[in-house]
Structure 1
């Protein structure tokens, strides 16, 4: 072996050792399989694909858009308050009347604040506002199983970007979030079930039942 060949082999060996050392220092390399814990999103892609295939996700999106078009989805609050005024209660009664038509569907209420106050305080206040809305909807006969007040954006998503008091930022927003798996009328094909019921209702004469029926009211206690 020539001196040049020997130097090349020594150089390659050193490079290999450097790469192994770098791999060992990495957070992923050199660890046994399963060392990295799932952060909770591992099955999201499969779940999303399943919902798209069976129609659930598309219908939730469509129903959410319809809800936003047909009823006011937002109520606002006085400064530093989670109390519902007369205007907010009237809006929530409209929401409740709409929600009763779809006993298979869940809704989520998001609480917001303006930018006055600390982030921690505003997050608590946003949650209190969301909980006030859920309580009022429940008092209108909507099952709490169908209502969530688990997310508070606090001050992080203002409608109007200002550091001053702004009522439009002190709000809650109600949105469609999914299906109620335990509801007795939910079948394997939830999408087909709801679509069929709405199709039959749309064929009723204008002088007939245009709102909810007593049977529907009784299913949502």
Structure 2
């Protein structure tokens, strides 16, 4: 093919690709987390297969129907009665959706060193996960034990503040080998009736 014809063909392909992208209501992969190797590709695949949107919808439902946050005493990763009660509600929801994975994120206030607070946030996340496991949740469905330490305070203060000393549980995705997920029946999962009766 002569050079002008090659250039014309390349221009036509570029124009076609541009028009195809412009026709989308949202850019593919627009919710990309650049935090890890392969995350952009994974998020693009999840968006294209519909999984990402369903994950967002279920995450919103979880946050609406169940308290997602527990708090801790200063310099502690011990669960008090209130924290155990909230985790009990979370476990009831999680049991009702065996096709879904969850993440637990640990946080601290700004008192103490960054390294110490990172470790303390991780201890808090592990305490919450261990309690959920004791309530019958399979540990393999609890995706990540992540510590944000002091980096994401709810209340910007250098003083002790219980609201900053917390863990947050969130929907993180789907169990990939579950039959409903394999068949792509995500709507059947997320719109399943759930009664907060503890069972």
Q: Which interval holds the TM-score relative to the shorter structure? A: 0.7 to 0.9
Gaps of 5+ in 1: 1-38, 203-209
Counterpart of 2:152 (choices 153, 157, 160) is 157
CA distance in structure 1 between the aligned counterparts of 2:117 and 2:182, rounded to whole angstroms = 41
CA distance in 1 between partners of 2:150 and 2:196 (Å): 38
Which residue number in structure 2 is paired with residue 179 of structure 1?
A: 174
Could you tell me which runs of 5 or more consecutive residues in structure 2 were left unpaired when the two chains were aligned.
1-34
**Residue 211 of structure 1: CA displacement?**
6.9
Distance 1:123 1:46, change over 3 A: closer
1:27-77: CA deviations, max 9, x gaps? xxxxxxxxxxxx953x44443232222211100000001111111000000
SS of residue paired to 1:124: helix
Partner of 2:79: 84
Query: Are 1:104 and 2:125 counterparts?
Result: no
Report whether the alignment pairs 1:70 with 2:52.
Answer: no
Tell me if structure 1 keeps the 8 A contact 2:66–2:93. yes
Aligned residues: 164
Measured after TM superposition, the shift of residue 185 of structure 1 is 5.0
User: 1:139 and 2:134 equivalent?
Assistant: yes
Match of 1:121 in 2: 116
- Check conservation: 2:180, 2:186, Cα contact below 8 A: no
- The correspondence for 2:89, drawn from 88, 91, 94, is 94
User: If the length of structure 1 is used for normalisation, what is the TM-score?
Assistant: 0.68
User: Residue in 1 aligned with 2:21?
Assistant: none
Name the structure 1 match of 2:12: none
Larger Rg: 1
TM-score (norm 2): 0.75
Q: For the Cα contact (< 8 Å) 2:108–2:164, is it kept in 1?
A: yes
Q: Give the alignment partner of residue 48 of structure 1, picking from 43, 51, 67.
A: 43
